[in-house]
Amino acid sequence: HHVVTENGRVQSAVDTLESGDLSGLGRLMSDSHRSLRDDYEVSCEELDLLVAIAVAQPGVIGARMTGGGFGGCTINLVESSAVAAFKQHVAESYFAGTGREPEIYVSPAADGVHQLETGLGNTRE
């Protein structure tokens, strides 16, 4: 069930991004996390806690687990003006809930994949 509904969410995400509907994108991310947790059953308490902490923060657009599941990582879309407070609050809240310190990495948004013209030509024959 998750794979089919996730495909629909990905298609909807294209529309929300093209229209600039960031709150809609956040809802899709939340729906994706719920589906991974409830339908695909690959989440865990720690990931669910991280997502719950994240989405309660001002400036958070969306959050969900990522990767293979059963522990690991979440991805969080956060307004740039809210990143410092987000990092501090997530670290404090997660430690309070688990006794463990999370590793938090900030990665700015980029233009995505595009072809580079190197001028070197094709070296394969």
Return d(Cα 70, Cα 43) in angstroms, integer. Answer: 5
Instruction: Provide the whole-model pTM.
Output: 0.82
Residue 121 pLDDT > 90: no
Q: Which residues contact 54 (CB under 8 A, 6 or more apart)?
A: 60, 63, 74, 76, 78, 86, 90
Return d(Cα 32, Cα 29) in angstroms, integer. Answer: 5
Residues 39-59 pLDDT 10s: 889 999 999 999 999 999 999
Residue 71 pLDDT > 80: no
Q: How confident is the model at residue 65 (pLDDT cuts 50, 70, 90)?
A: very high
Domains parsed from the chain with CATH numbers: 2-98 (3.30.70.890)
Give me 19's structure tokens.
């229209």
Comparison of pLDDT for 111 and 15, the residue scoring more: 15
Q: What is the DSSP letter of 103?
A: P
Return d(Cα 70, Cα 18) in angstroms, integer. Answer: 32
Residue 52, φ and ψ in degrees, nearest 5: -60, -45
CA 90 to chain CA centroid, Å, is 14
pLDDT of residue 29: 96
